[in-house]
């Protein structure tokens, strides 16, 4: 028997909430109401779950019921570009502690699904700026989100923000460092989630590292904590080769990093610095 899609979305939302321990009720509501299939290209879909060690697999057909599982779904399979697993991405959104009226920057919007979820959470009094560097994806995301006027879909890499301020920033791509424009745009007390990753040529566009949440405590300082280890598509134009090498070396020394702060002020390296560079420092200061 085929389950009604509305019921399937509700069960999907409850399952993701349980798996990811979501604490934002509006996010669970968004998962239950937003049709994930509308933010994907036509099926059958290539999907990848936690047990798919040998690679992705294809759904039996293009029935929408197949997208309501906690796995990644290909957006552009040859490029290894996926709509991420809801249990992972929703946990990151939850860690932003969004509320009604918040202003959100989403870097790496893809086809717009997770931008749409955040738009549901912040409501029409809020604002979501969804930025995508791929022109085709940005165009499709704009069409997918056309019914949500408080979402502004832009083409670019979000490094040229024009004196805008945000309560939360989610970067859905692997980067080597936080951009200064993002740090400046984040409101005091606001939260930013980044995936800091290292890459090697054999991995292609995928980098490995960790996601972390940074809370702005002053203009030059942020509290920080690691959320999870991650493998994610590398951000275009958001990486530095020197920092890529530094990150790789730091993760080889300490595969599961521990730090509590992000600093951008000039200071000398010390034993409290887990990763120190001219651009930023992760440590226990």
Helix, strand or coil, per DSSP, at residue 126: coil
User: Is residue 36 domain-resident?
Assistant: no
Query: What is the rounded CA–CA span in Å between residue 179 and residue 187?
Result: 15
CATH code, domain carrying 267: 3.40.50.150
pLDDT at residue 55 in the model: 84
Q: Is residue 42 part of a domain?
A: no
**Does any domain span residue 91?**
yes
List the chain residues with pLDDT less than 70: 1-3
Q: What is the count of structural domains for the chain?
A: 1
Q: Edge-to-edge strand order for the sheet containing 221-233? A: 151-155, 127-132, 103-107, 166-175, 186-198, 206-216, 221-233, 261-263, 281-283, 273-276
pLDDT in tens, 123-181: 999 999 999 999 999 999 999 999 999 999 999 999 998 889 999 999 999 999 999 99
Judge whether 48 lies within some domain. no
Residue 2 confidence (pLDDT): 62
Tokens describing residue 79: 């490029």
- What is the pTM assigned to this prediction? 0.96
Q: Is residue 248 a part of any domain in this protein? A: yes
Domain presence at residue 205: yes
pLDDT of residue 246: 95
Which residue, among 250, 222, 128, 230, has the nearest Cα to 173 in the 3D structure?
A: 230
What's residue 27's pLDDT?
A: 98
* pLDDT 10s digits, 179-194: 999 999 999 999 999 9
Range of the domain at 192: 79-283
For 88, the 3-state DSSP assignment is helix
Helix (H, G, I), strand (E, B), or coil: what is residue 274?
Answer: strand
In a domain, 24, yes or no: no
Contacts of 280 (CB under 8 A, 6+ apart): 177, 178, 262, 263, 264
A 10 A CB-CB count for 111 gives 25
What stretch of H or E contains 247?
Answer: helix 241-253
| Of 201, 275, 279, nearest in space to 238 by CA | 279
């Amino acid at each position: 028997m085929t389950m009604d899609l509305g019921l399937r979305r509700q069960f999907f939302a409850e399952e993701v909430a349980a798996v990811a321990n979501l604490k934002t009720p509006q996010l669970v509501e968004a998962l239950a109401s937003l049709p994930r299939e509308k933010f994907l290209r036509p099926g059958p879909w290539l999907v990848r779950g936690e047990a798919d060690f040998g690679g992705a697999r294809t759904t039996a057909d293009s029935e929408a019921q197949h997208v309501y599982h906690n796995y990644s779904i290909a957006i552009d399979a040859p490029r290894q570009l996926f709509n991420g697993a809801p249990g992972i991405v929703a946990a990151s959104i939850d860690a932003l502690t969004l509320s009604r009226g918040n202003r959100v920057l989403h870097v790496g919007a893809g086809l717009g699904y997770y931008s749409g979820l955040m738009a549901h959470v912040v409501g029409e009094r809020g604002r979501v700026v969804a930025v995508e560097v791929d022109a085709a994806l940005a165009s499709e995301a704009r069409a997918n989100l056309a019914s949500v006027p408080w979402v502004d879909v832009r083409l670019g890499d979000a490094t040229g923000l024009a004196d805008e301020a945000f309560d939360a920033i989610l970067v859905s791509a692997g980067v080597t460092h936080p951009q200064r424009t993002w740090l400046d745009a984040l409101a005091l007390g606001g939260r930013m989630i980044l995936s800091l990753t290292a890459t090697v040529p054999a991995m292609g566009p995928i980098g490995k590292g960790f996601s972390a949440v940074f809370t702005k405590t002053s203009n030059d300082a942020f509290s920080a904590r690691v959320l999870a280890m991650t493998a994610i598509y590398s951000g275009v134009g958001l990486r530095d080769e020197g920092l890529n090498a530094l990150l790789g070396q730091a993760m080889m020394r300490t595969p599961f990093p521990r730090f509590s702060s992000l600093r951008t002020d000039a200071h000398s390296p010390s034993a409290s610095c887990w990763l120190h560079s001219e651009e930023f420092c992760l440590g226990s200061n």
